[in-house]
Amino acid sequence: MAQPASMVDGLQQELRQRERERALRSQQEAAPDVRLQRPVQAGDERLPEHESPCFRIDRIRLEGDAAERFQWAVKAADPANDRATGRCLGSEGISLTMKRVQNAIVARGYVTTRVLAPPQDLKQGTLTLAVIPGRVRRIRFSESRGRRGTKWNAVPARPGDILNVRDIEQALENFQRVPTVDADIQITPAEGPDAKPGDSDLVIKWKQDFPFRITLSADDAGSKFTGKYQGSVTLSYDNWWTLNDLFYVSLNHDLGRGYGDGKGTRGYTVHYEVPYDYWLLGFTISGYDYRQSVAGGNRTYVFSGSSENSELRLSRLFYRDAVRKTSAYVAAWSRNSRNYIDDTEIEVQRRRMAGWAVGLAHREFIGAATLDADVGYRRGTGMLSARAAPEEAFGEGTSRSAVITAQGQLNIPIAVSKQRFRYLVAWRAQWNRTSLVPQDRFQIGGRYTVRGFDGETTLLGERGWLVRNDLGWAMGNTGQELYLGVDYGQVRGPSTQELIGTHLAGAVIGVRGGYKRLYWDAFAGRPISTPDGFQTASTTAGFNISWTY
């Protein structure tokens, strides 16, 4: 659909609110990144060619406690371009071989595990290296720990485990997922009569500020038909159940006279999440309703609607190293919506859908740049008494939808002389495997998708993609960034045959930044390319301002 709305459009209201919720969750549920170990660079040292005395080495083996867990590290001693086996090694060559194995073990996070070369007879052609695993003896809080600190569900390591810095990084991310918590973990040598070589204690320094946070925000991202100026208040209770858990409630409302002037919007979002080692369980529910009065020939009609959404998600981080981490998730979801004219429901617009979703998320650190990418599959089912979509009778949509989604972002800091710049490119795409109801289609046009448009008219299609490009300049040490953005998006699919076009391009210039507890973003944009007849403002300005305490 791509038409100006002379009256409120329930679909547009629902899609607009969905984008607002996406932005809210991205801000409130931002996960920290902890990287304690820089990538171990492969050395360019080569084995000496002619050592004397030397011994021919045909085999390299590891022995010692838990040596079977580190057999993979032996390959590092024998790279194809500089093999240690099949040649004569002296003391320098053996030391370099041992160093290669040690570096390979450290690169995987085993920073307290050591590799030694015990006394041995090398005349048989076997070089034996002894591995001394560094184990965790105790995990404890420091004496300054607050009363609300909990470690059992935050620290993946257990006493007796081989110490891996990846477990410490994950523990710190679990602690610091709660914004009011500051945590640090020190690795200290184990002391006492029961301490063994390689044993270490993990000492946790944990502190939490006042656990309640409040955020007040205002913007002009609403529709002119139901209230352009919108406000919200978000109350967070950090570490509520002392489980390193995150909880918040967000309420939003138009900043007009509410329903007193015949139009208005209001909504809510409630979110709770709790970690356990490398797992994260989260639950979100949200709701929204709107109202508008439209004068007819002899009377005034009241258009209204409501929607409710819920999601239960379980995710697990299954791989991390010094420069990347990858997680997977599974989720169950439901979505209901209704629309009315004068309190009489429009039955053909009633929706009750539910289903499941799976996906992968990846973050990669490339030098100073950061790459994020996710891919997901979302499927509608008959669970939770889902209703068949009215469009199923015409083959134009189904409540048993199947959709593949992908999104990503690349953030590249750039330094030119003493000036600091930043290039940020974000993309989003969707592919349908079934026909889709309008609520499941891909939308472009507006501040949350393709900027430069007022968002009153958008393009929808079963498939689509968009890319957003930002070049930002840090304005000295003021905490402000001047940015220029250029966006492009396309939609495709059977329903787009009825559209006046399938692409939008726009540009925006703005300033964003903050001072103390205040954050703002103000911008102005305009279309670059639109289909003939697409109605939108020639210039669009907007703002967002928030205050957190």
pLDDT digits (tens, 9 = 90+) for 223-263: 888 889 999 999 999 999 999 999 999 999 999 765 556 68
Pairing relationship of beta strands 540-548 and 518-529 according to DSSP bridges: antiparallel
> Does residue 44 register a pLDDT over 80?
no
pLDDT digits (tens, 9 = 90+) for 389-403: 988 888 889 999 999
Joined together, the tokens standing for residue 145 give 């720990």
**What φ, ψ does residue 73 adopt, rounded to 5°?**
-70, -20
Question: What pLDDT sits at residue 6?
Answer: 39
Assign a CATH topology to domain 10-30+210-548. Porin (2.40.160)
What confidence category does residue 1 fall into, taking pLDDT thresholds of 50, 70 and 90? very low
pLDDT digits (tens, 9 = 90+) for 510-536: 999 999 999 999 999 999 999 999 999
Nearest to 405 by CA among 432, 370, 423, 384: 432
Is the overall model pTM greater than 0.75, yes or no?
yes
Which residues are CB-contacts of 472 (< 8 A; sequence separation ≥ 6)? Answer: 421, 422, 423, 424, 481, 482, 483, 484
Question: What pLDDT sits at residue 393?
Answer: 86
Where exactly does CATH 3.10.20.310 map onto the chain?
Answer: 136-208
Question: What pLDDT sits at residue 395?
Answer: 87
Question: What number is the average pLDDT over the span 129-158?
Answer: 92
Where exactly does CATH 2.40.160.50 map onto the chain?
Answer: 10-30+210-548
53 cis-preceded (ω within 30 degrees of 0): yes
Multiple choice CATH, 136-208, 3.30.413.10, 3.40.50.720, 3.40.30.10, 3.10.20.310: 3.10.20.310
